[in-house]
Chain A
Amino acid sequence: MKNKIKSWILLLVFCFSLVPFGAGQAGGPGRTFAEARSLLYLGGVFLEDEASLDTAVRFPGLMAPAPVVRQAEGAEEILNRMIHATKQERNDHDANCRQLKIQYQSAGDQAAVQKLTSYCEGERQRLSNRISFLRRLRGGDRRKLLTHWWHSVKRGSANFWRRIGPLGRNILRKVGDEAFNTVASGGSLSGEVVRRLAKQVVKSQAREELKKVVYRGVERLLRGQVEIARAAGVLEDDGEGDDPQFLEGDVDQFDDGVLSEDEVQESAANQAEEEEDCPGDSSWVAPYWDEVIQPQLVAEGRICQQTAIAIYKSCLQDQGIQGVCPEDALAHCDPLYRAIPRTESSGTVTQKLTVMHSEAQNIAASLVYNGSGGSGVRGKISYILQDRHLCTIRVTSTLSGTFDLDTCTLSGTAQVTEVYEGTACASVCSGGSCPVTRSASVPWQAILEDGEISGGVNGNGSSVSGFGFGTP
């Protein structure tokens, strides 16, 4: 009897030891900047219209007859938007890291560069891991069998409640649309009042603003970390002055050696001479940008590097606001100008692509264009769609068009052929008439942004369906 009591007490003690008292009390801030930053990016992405997302939902309709996936609509849309937000976050993170690195190197602060490098690499890895995990979830939820099963049951049951319960009917199918409607109207305005988001109207400006806010947050965070590391004696300052070799190497990874900063500085100096006095504000930046820098960027094939350009422009504006003369401002921001990568070589560029559809398989896609712009853009995209109803669609398309270097857009006409196979393609193969072949000539458009292509073939108003594509 005594042994029995002892056994029970031991079991009880063991069970208590399993309770995670004090879990999550790790060192460092619990409420991190990274969490707030991720929310900031995601908050904006849900208000973007679907057309601006680099996902399968850009041109709906290809796999339209699939009413069973109602619950998945909302869930998949959320995953798409999370991936999009994380990609934006990672792009801006990279740009901010580049800018800060140049800033610290210019100041000869190698200790800060050291801290920055480890922070940047860690954050980049974290964001990349997040993207690949979210992609895996979107591409068929390859979680462990039990987890997968549990999620299927939850989905099925939630669908059941949606049909019969008033609570369930609040579950959203199109999350972005509802979020936008709620923001624009609060659910209280009549349909006669039309409201648009100012952020959407001034899109590029809003993106630039977002980057600057995040940049300032990161700058402060790193300054704090460097101070802490120095106080703890972890970082050693290695003397005053630049490390020119290191700086050159860092900048030159984006540069092919033909630099134009001398010309830019010369023009600025001339302008400053003409003005006799310093303007003392940033009023000179906008006209100087339009007249000198913008054409220069186009001429040098750097114009499609929007993020790096925005950082450079922001540097000039900051200098202007601080009352720095144009000559000095241009000299100060010159490393950032040199860091703007040349996207385009003057020769032929072949870009591998992927199709933005979670059910696309056997994708073979590429686009060939001339780096200095003009006609002669050509491409081929082929893939197979196999939905859960065993409907197989083989899609092949041949693209031709032009590359407008001023706007970084590629556009033209695509000859799209779809072959529907399998009797389950109910909307097309009714009466067992499969295989059915559909073919049409439709427009396509893509944008080259920061060296990455994203675009789509627009099937609206034609017998074929559209699809999105982009750099993998």
Chain B
Amino acid sequence: MAKVEQVSGNRKGKRIWIPLGIVCGGILVVLGGIFLWAGWQGYQEAPKLIEGSVPQGSSGVGYLLTPDQAGIQTELGPPEAFTLLFYEEETVDGSLRDVRLESWDYYSQGVGYTFINGELTGEDELDISEIGQLAPMPYDPEQFEAYMSLNEVLAAASLETYVEIPLEKAFLEGGDLYYGESLTFGLVDGELRYLEALALIEE
């Protein structure tokens, strides 16, 4: 009789351990899941080096130079460095108008130009004495247009290797910064808002 009670006690013990094990296992699985999910989120938000990227999608239709810009390009050639900013401005009738603010730098000639929507708005002397041998600039301003997607920029610039830096929300919500060869650009909510083609000196 005593033996039967012992066997029954063992069974009861097993009965308790099984659900307890399931609960503990479940908790571990959930915690592990949270940990892995957090890791994925952390990865998404971390700065990364992307290599061997194959840009999918078209490079966009490009941008047509205005007469002001074409005139300067005919005279001095394509810019040795350039910066593009894309944003919207409000008009008197309440509608929004796109603005393309760009600066073209010619280090060799010691001059820089600023254009707003293709219209020449400023000419600045670049007081540079000896800059050395510049590497060929692989990009032209016409390759890039407002609000391109990441894939379109990558395709336009033929970038396979680049650095991606997601930005802290407190700095710019939805902002990402990218660096590729001779190039840096920024997207907000997946739209190209800033691009800078950088001149490099070869030694």
Contacts and interface: CB of A to CB of B under 8 A. Distances in A.
Given A42-B177, A183-B182, A209-B103, A31 B88 contact: yes
B75 interface: no
B194 A39 contact: yes
Interface stretch (A58-66, A188-196, A403-411, A453-461): A188-196
Interface stretch (A223-231, A245-253, A387-395): A223-231
Interface stretch (A164-172, A325-333, A422-430): A164-172
Contacts of B124: 208-209, 212, 314, 317-318
B150 interface: no
A318 B125 CA distance: 9
A196 B201 contact: yes
Contacts of B122: 212, 216, 318
A216 B107 contact: no
B127 interface: yes
Given A137-B168, A188-B181, A39 B89 contact: no
A438 interface: no
A470 to B, nearest CB: 21
Given A28-B90, A186-B161, A224-B91, A198 B198 contact: yes
Interface string B165-203: 101101110010101111111101001011010111111
B24 interface: no
Nearest to A150: B38
Contact of B125 (A31, A180, A317): A317
A29 B101 contact: no
B48 A171 contact: yes
A158 B46 contact: yes
A35 B87 contact: yes
Given A160-B39, A195-B201, A202 B168 contact: no
| A contacts with B: majority SS | helix
A78 interface: yes
A19 interface: no
A185 B202 CA distance: 11
A46 B51 contact: no
Nearest to A209: B112
A156 B32 CA distance: 12
A371 interface: no
Question: How many A residues are at the interface, by size bracket?
Answer: 35 or more
Between A44, A78, A225, the greatest number of chain B beta carbons within 10 A of the residue's beta carbon is seen for A78
A217 interface: yes
A196 B83 contact: no
Interface string B22-64: 0000000000001110111111011111110000000000000
Given A153-B35, A183-B182, A33 B87 contact: yes
B199 A198 contact: yes
Contact of A183 (B42, B168, B198): B198
B36 A35 contact: no
Interface in A132-164: 133-134, 137, 150, 153-158, 160-161
B161 A187 contact: yes
B128 A202 contact: yes
B168 A198 contact: no
B155 interface: no
Nearest to A230: B92
A199 B38 contact: no
Contact of A35 (B81, B159, B188): B188
B94 to A, nearest CB: 8
Interface in A25-49: 28-33, 35-40, 42-44, 46-47
30 contacts: A31-B88, A32-B87, A33-B99, A35-B175, A36-B101, A39-B193, A47-B179, A130-B170, A154-B39, A154-B42, A157-B36, A158-B43, A170-B49, A171-B43, A172-B46, A172-B47, A179-B179, A187-B161, A188-B181, A197-B200, A199-B199, A201-B131, A205-B128, A212-B112, A217-B101, A220-B101, A220-B116, A224-B89, A317-B125, A318-B124
Interface of B: 34-36, 38-43, 45-51, 80-81, 83, 85-92, 96, 99, 101, 103, 105, 107, 112, 114, 116, 121-128, 131-132, 134-135, 147, 159-163, 165, 167-168, 170-172, 175, 177, 179-186, 188, 191, 193-194, 196, 198-203
